[in-house]
Amino acid sequence: AQSVTQLGSHVSVSEGALVLLRCNYSSSVPPYLFWYVQYPNQGLQLLLKYTSAATLVKGINGFEAEFKKSETSFHLTKPSAHMSDAAEYFCAVKGGGADGLTFGKGTHLIIQP
C-alpha cells in the first residue's frame, strides 16, 4: 500500500530563509505525489503534483519539489519564506478509494519575523 511520511510535525524558519519540508514515500508502483497547503480554517489547496514527467516540479506561490527515486523522497522547498506561507502542509500519494489520496500527518510551518 502506498504511504507517505512527513518528517517534523513543526518547522520554524525566519522570514526570508529557505523553507524545506520533508516527505518520504513508500509505493510499490511509480507514485503520483502531491503537496497540499491548508491555511487556518480553510480546506486544502493543491500546491503541486508529480506525475512521472519532470522530476523537479514547480507549484504555486514559489514552491517547488524534487522527486528523488533513489531516496524515495519528495521534499518541498521555497527559497525565501514569507509570513503568508505560515500554514499546514500535507504530502500525499495517490492510492486509496477511487484512487483517492493517502495523506501524511502534516507539517506546521511557522514563519518568524
Partner 1 sequence: NAGVTQTPKFRILKIGQSMTLQCTQDMNHNYMYWYRQDPGMGLKLIYYSVGAGITDKGEVPNGYNVSRSTTEDFPLRLELAAPSQTSVYFCASSYEQGAGKLFFGSGTQLSVL
Angle value at C-alpha 101, between 41 and 35, nearest 5 degrees: 60
30 belongs to the binding site for partner 1 (CB under 8 A)? no
Contact, 44 vs 59, CB < 8 A? no
45 belongs to the binding site for partner 1 (CB under 8 A)? yes
Which window, 14-22, 64-72, 75-83, 100-108, contacts partner 1 (CB under 8 A)? 100-108
Nearest-angstrom CA–CA distance, 22 and 24 = 7
State which residue, 75 or 104, has the beta carbon closest to partner 1. 104
Shortest separation between residue 37's beta carbon and partner 1, angstroms: 11
